[in-house]
């Protein structure tokens, strides 16, 4: 029995299919080195939150829960929301992105608006509201896994997401999408200097590199500003702090706007 399996394995080793697999691997290595750019292989830097999977909707739900918990007598929900946005904006500078920062912002907003001091019990309840987000399973936007599978057979994909490392790593692991990417970059901020570092790290050529995402502020404008091409895929529920006008690129830098992630297949 053992011998026959061994024989079968040896046969497979010599089967033409094996060499096809090898050539696929060589193709992949060459592609990463940029030697097949002439054949149309490009580097696609792809955002994750609200591009590959839902994210902001969970924060919106938590904020709605927080506003009803606060139950403010004089401020309506829009006014509370404006104060929270302001606190979050300040908070990012010191606490960065992610759940810890979000929980901190909710507590700070509560302290700013509540006449009574925040008791340890209230503090705990606010943290619990923020942390309901952590338990959420990954929900893909339509056709994301199939589209990535197809794109990864033709192009060099790098995931580029900002946030707390442990949280973003956890989502990447749970998504099961990791194998479609040649690399995963989790960064603290997505600004021009971050994009420049990534370009230098992977030795990317601007004319064949695209940043793909839902945020004008983090994905599109800084990438275009350093001469990368970009694909804007607006999400109906993008975090208000990510809102910005898309700055039209200066040729030869290109900008595409599409409605759905799956439409990337028509362009790449
Ligand atoms: Mg995003």
pLDDT digits (tens, 9 = 90+) for 90-139: 998 899 888 899 999 999 999 999 888 889 999 999 999 988 888 788 99
pLDDT for 39 equals 61
Indicate if the pLDDT at residue 4 is higher than 70: no
Dist. CA 124–CA 262, nearest whole Å: 41
Kindly tell me if the per-residue pLDDT of 188 is higher than 70.
yes
User: Among residues 152, 158, 151, which one has the least CA distance to residue 228?
Assistant: 158
Q: How far away, in angstroms, is 124 Cα from ligand 1 center?
A: 29
| Per-residue pLDDT at 37 | 46
Tokens of 156: 């060099």
* 49 Cα to the center of ligand 1, angstroms: 4
Indicate the residue among 118, 135, 152 that finishes a domain.
Answer: 135
Could you give the CA distance from residue 211 to residue 231 in angstroms, rounded to a whole number? Answer: 6
> From ligand 1's centre to the CA of 40, what distance in Å?
26
Q: What is the pLDDT of residues 250-268, one digit of tens each?
A: 999 999 999 999 999 999 9
Pairwise CA distance, residues 244 & 214, whole Å: 11
Which residues, 6 or more positions from 178, have their beta carbon under 8 angstroms from its beta carbon?
A: 172, 184
Q: Are residues 187 and 145 in the same domain?
A: yes
* Same domain flag for 150 and 119: no
- The Å distance, Cα 197 to ligand 1 centre, comes to 19
113 with 181, same domain: the answer is no
Per-residue pLDDT for 1 more than 50?
Answer: no
Region of poorest pLDDT, from 11-25, 78-92, 196-210: 11-25
Q: What is the pLDDT of residue 35?
A: 39
The reply to whether 181 and 246 lie within a common domain is yes
Q: Is residue 19 part of a domain?
A: no
Q: How far apart are CA 191 and CA 228, in angstroms?
A: 13
Q: Average pLDDT, stretch 196-209?
A: 97
Q: What is the pLDDT of residue 25?
A: 34
DSSP secondary structure letters along 90-152: HHHHHH-SSHHHHHHHHHHHHHHH-SS---HHHHHHHHHHHHTGGGPPP-BPTTHHHHHHHHH
Domain shared by 199 and 233, yes or no: yes
Question: What's the pLDDT at 71?
Answer: 87
Structurally, how many domains does the chain consist of?
2
The rounded Å distance from CA 116 to ligand 1 centre is: 36
Say how many Å lie between the CA of residue 187 and the centre of ligand 1.
13
In angstroms, the CA 18 to CA 182 distance is 22
Domain match, 199 and 92 both: no
Q: Is 190 among the domain residues?
A: yes
Measure 24 CA to ligand 1 centroid, in angstroms. Answer: 31
Is residue 30, in this structure, part of any structural domain at all?
Answer: no
Domain containing 232 equals: 35-53+139-267
Q: What is the pLDDT of residues 27-43, one digit of tens each?
A: 344 344 443 445 689 99
In terms of domains, do 153 and 189 share one?
yes
Residue 144 is predicted with a pLDDT of 98
Whole-structure pTM value: 0.81
CA of 50 to the centre of ligand 1 (A): 5
Residues 6+ apart with CB under 8 A from 216: 232, 242, 243, 244, 245, 246
**Of 18-22, 39-43, 140-144, highest mean pLDDT:** 140-144
Question: Which residues are registered as beta bridge partners of 210?
Answer: 44, 229
> What is the domain-level CATH number for residue 95?
1.10.150
């Amino acid at each position: 029995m053992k011998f026959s399996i061994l024989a079968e394995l040896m046969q497979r080793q010599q089967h033409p299919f094996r060499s096809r697999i090898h050539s696929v691997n060589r193709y992949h290595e060459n592609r990463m080195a940029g030697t097949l750019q002439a054949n149309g292989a490009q580097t696609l830097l792809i955002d994750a939150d609200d591009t590959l999977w839902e994210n902001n909707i969970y924060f919106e739900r938590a904020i709605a829960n927080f506003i009803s918990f606060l139950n403010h007598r004089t401020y309506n929900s829009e006014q509370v929301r404006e104060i929270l946005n302001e606190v979050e904006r300040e908070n990012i500078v010191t606490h960065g992105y992610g759940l810890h920062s979000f929980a901190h912002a909710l507590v700070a907003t509560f302290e700013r608006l509540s006449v009574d001091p925040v008791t340890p019990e209230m503090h705990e309840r606010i943290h619990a509201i923020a942390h309901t987000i952590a338990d959420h399973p990954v929900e893909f936007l339509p056709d994301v896994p199939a589209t990535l599978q197809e794109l990864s057979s033709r192009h060099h994909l790098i995931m580029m997401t900002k946030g707390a490392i442990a949280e973003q790593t956890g989502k990447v692991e749970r998504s099961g999408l990791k194998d479609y990417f040649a690399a995963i970059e989790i960064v603290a901020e997505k600004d021009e200097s971050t994009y420049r570092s990534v370009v230098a790290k992977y030795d990317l050529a601007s004319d064949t590199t695209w940043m793909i995402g839902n945020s004008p502020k983090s994905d599109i404008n800084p990438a275009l500003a350093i001469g990368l091409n970009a694909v804007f895929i607006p999400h109906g529920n993008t975090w208000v702090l990510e809102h910005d006008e898309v700055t039209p690129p200066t040729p030869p830098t290109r900008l595409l706007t599409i409605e759905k992630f799956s439409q990337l297949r028509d362009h790449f």
